[in-house]
Amino acid sequence: MTLKKLIMMPVQAIRAVYAALLPRTAPVYPDSPHFDKVKARFVNPQPMSGVAFKDGLSIFLEMLQGVSQYGPKDPLPTIKPDWPLFLQDDDINRFIWFGHSTLLMRVGQQTIAIDPVLGKSVSPLMVNMRRFQKPAAAVKEWPQVDVILLSHNHYDHLEEKTLKQFAGTSTRFIVPLGVGQYLKPVGISAERITELDWWQSLDHQNIRYTLVPAWHNTGRGLYDNDKSFWGGYIIQQADDTVYYSGDSTYGPHFAEIARRFPNISLAFIENGQYDRRWPNNHMTPELTVQAAADLQAHRVVPIHWGAYTIAFHPWNEPVQRSVPLLRQKGIQPLTPYQGQVFDKNTVTEEWYLTLQ
């Protein structure tokens, strides 16, 4: 580590603490059925229990000790994206996974990025939750992005440094209610931002984007908890339907999404960063499989793993547990390499099984 990096680490930490302590004036959404007008915050359809004090203390102490032991011992195999294949002018929708929940999609001749996070850390303090290795391709290597979808404002899904690179572009942003307030400070003008409530849609360039329910929460500091909304997405183009879960605990909303959007060809579902102490934040692999069954998706790509350690389980445990169970239910999983261009019919390898 260079001297400059050593100096900058405490500076970045101080900035993060200052930002977290700084009160933020948040907009209110009295017309949304998911906004509690008394508490002035968004809510899930059912009350979600928080982390108990003793559990919160144990989590904090474990995090201070570090979580690097749960990461891979060696660099993960990646593939440099085949951009000509990704951009090929045909009727096949193609995808690239960059680890965790970051995706590029080529749908209907539009390039769509979802939750683009490529930085070295997803902790506001920058001293833990560090990326296992460099991403398969930096944003400057990406083709022009037409639309960016954001699921919520947590640091591992909304990264200011990455989003700043789209400040001088024509990229459209589609986000849940209230998330737009985090984009304007990084140079994204209001006319490029569309905010949606659950089940609301936007038609853009022959593609329909619908924000769908996810049971989760938001917050980047002490004063903005649940002041902005959260959700997943349905992306429809011609006769193809793609689903992205965002972050969610398990609930009846998965079956409701399937009822409203039958014949989901490909589902990207969170699978990782779970812990018994936060059961209402993320699903265990077994619940991820049940969510996939509820969605009646033809194929499933487990996401929310493979780039950062945010929980206390081995980096590849989520897919080691979920992939066999998906097959038992007759659902064919896809486990692409990071950077690999794939489509819903691609045959992928279980590359994570041979690594520690």
pLDDT tens, residue by residue, 260-295? 999 999 999 999 999 988 888 899 999 999 999 999
Q: Is residue 22 very low, low, confident or very high in pLDDT (cuts 50, 70, 90)?
A: low
Q: Per-residue pLDDT for 67 more than 80?
A: no
Helices within the chain (DSSP H only): 3-21, 53-65, 83-86, 160-163, 253-260, 285-295, 317-328
Structural domain total, the chain? 1
Q: What average pLDDT does range 168-188 have in this prediction?
A: 97
Q: Per-residue pLDDT for 63 more than 90?
A: no
Q: Is residue 59 very low, low, confident or very high in pLDDT (cuts 50, 70, 90)?
A: low
Which whole-number Å values give the CA distances from 148 to 41, 172, 188, 193, in the listed order? Answer: 25, 6, 12, 10
Q: Is residue 61 very low, low, confident or very high in pLDDT (cuts 50, 70, 90)?
A: low
Residues composing the chain: 356
Structure tokens at 28: 């209110």
Q: Which of 39-48, 51-60, 197-206 has the lowest mean pLDDT?
A: 51-60
pLDDT of residue 199: 98
In this structure, what are the phi and psi dihedrals at residue 243, rounded to the nearest 5 degrees? -120, 140
Q: Supply the mean pLDDT for the chain.
A: 90
Q: Using a pLDDT cut of 90, give the percent of the chain over it.
A: 79
CATH code of the domain in which 41 resides: 3.60.15.10
The model's pTM:
0.92
Q: Per-residue pLDDT for 323 more than 90?
A: yes
Identify the domain containing residue 112 by its residue range. Answer: 3-354
Q: Per-residue pLDDT for 16 more than 50?
A: no
Rounded Cα gap, residues 273 and 135, in angstroms: 19
Rounded Cα gap, residues 223 and 22, in angstroms: 8
Q: Which of 4-8, 15-19, 94-98 has the lowest mean pLDDT?
A: 4-8
pLDDT of residue 55: 63
